[in-house]
């Protein structure tokens, strides 16, 4: 088949895509959230939906499709028409699914392509006051003097908190014992009671406990300090290079969505993220607002996948 014949066959499809992109959006858009209503990722989607609706000029509906660590909702979007009307509000858990399972139906940067991140924020490393450490340096000294005696809580095998805990062990040269729980945050009762000594969590959840003196904050896993906790240094600042770990929420579309539609969505989301209401809501959780260009966030996902794949291999981590 010559070049002209190929063009004649492809021309109708190309014309339809261009026409569709020009008219987008002509009706309501839905955001699939792959976790339960009331959760942090769900809140992020519902906080931005009204402003995104204003920017797009069409209703934006949030729909929860929880299950299988976020895989069920991701599959719904990956199988949807690539027309910009079905979006995924994905999160760090979806990225971990790609690394820990053999599911090839809804992979980020493959079947699902990024538009931009909504939020990105660090975890805070905390210890029970009974440990006797007032800062990271003192904690590491205690941990090295008591190999295996310090327990840290994780959200279970393959959770982001487990990966961070194992990364810290490797970089710091300490031997902590993981105590897995059913989900992230489920270790809080035991952490407060002193049954385990170390935990990781979001600043919004742990901030009040830190201020009340019930937990000691050792450092942030992010790349820099937070505006809401400027006195707390990062782990990297304190010598633990390579422990940077951020949790995020981001918007994805099915692969094959026309670039013009992706750009329309990107501009609309970036505009929504600039609104004072959204920024205040996001910053109040200890997160920073996103807005990276699609290709920039795509490159970030690739670099994160390489980093955590190494941690998974070194720790022989498997999802149970």
DSSP states of 68-108 as a string?
GGGHHHHHHHHTS-SSSSEEEEEEHHHHHHHHHS---SS-B
List of domains in the chain: 27-121+247-315 (3.40.190.150), 122-220 (3.40.190.10)
pTM: 0.90
Residue 273, pLDDT > 90, answer yes
Query: pLDDT tens digits for 9-34?
Result: 545 544 445 555 679 999 999 999 99
CB-based burial label for 87 (10 Å; 0-12, 13-18, 19+): buried
Quick: pLDDT tens for 135-177.
Answer: 999 999 999 999 999 999 999 999 999 999 999 999 999 999 9
Strands 216-220 and 288-289, bridge-based pairing: unpaired
Euclidean distance between CA atoms 302 and 289, whole angstroms: 20
Inter-residue contact 118 to 290 (CB < 8 Å): yes
Residues 96-107: pLDDT tens digits? 999 999 999 999
Which tens digits make up the pLDDT trace of 222-248? 999 998 899 999 999 999 999 999 999
Q: Determine phi and psi for 155, rounding to 5 degrees.
A: -85, 20
């Amino acid at each position: 088949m010559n070049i002209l014949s190929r063009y004649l066959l492809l021309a109708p499809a190309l014309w339809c895509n261009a026409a569709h992109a020009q008219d987008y959006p002509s009706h309501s858009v839905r955001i699939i959230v792959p976790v339960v209503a009331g959760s942090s990722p769900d809140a992020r989607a519902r906080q931005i939906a009204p402003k995104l609706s204003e920017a797009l000029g069409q209703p934006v509906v949030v729909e929860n499709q929880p299950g299988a660590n976020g895989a069920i909702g991701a599959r719904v979007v990956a199988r949807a028409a690539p027309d910009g009307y079905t979006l995924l509000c994905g999160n760090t858990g979806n990225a971990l699914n790609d690394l820990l399972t053999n599911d090839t139906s809804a992979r980020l940067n493959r079947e699902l392509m990024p538009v931009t991140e909504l939020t990105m924020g660090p975890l805070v490393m905390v210890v029970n006051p009974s440990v006797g450490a007032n800062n990271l340096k003192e904690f590491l000294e205690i941990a090295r003097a008591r190999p295996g005696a310090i327990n840290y809580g994780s959200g279970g095998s393959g959770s982001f908190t487990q990966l961070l805990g194992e990364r810290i062990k490797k970089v710091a040269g300490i031997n902590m014992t993981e105590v897995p729980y059913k989900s992230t945050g489920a270790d809080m009762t035991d952490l407060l009671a002193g049954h385990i000594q170390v935990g990781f969590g979001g600043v919004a959840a742990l901030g009040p406990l830190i201020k009340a003196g019930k937990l000691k904050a050792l450092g942030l896993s992010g790349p820099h300090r937070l505006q809401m906790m400027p006195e707390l240094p990062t782990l990297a600042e304190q010598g633990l290079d390579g422990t940077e770990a951020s949790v995020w929420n981001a918007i994805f579309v099915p692969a094959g969505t026309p670039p013009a539609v992706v750009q329309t969505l990107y501009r609309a989301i970036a505009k929504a993220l600039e609104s004072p209401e959204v920024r205040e809501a996001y910053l109040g959780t200890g997160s920073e607002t996103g807005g990276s260009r699609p290709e920039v966030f795509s490159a970030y996902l690739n670099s994160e996948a390489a980093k955590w794949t190494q941690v998974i291999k070194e720790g022989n981590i498997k999802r149970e």
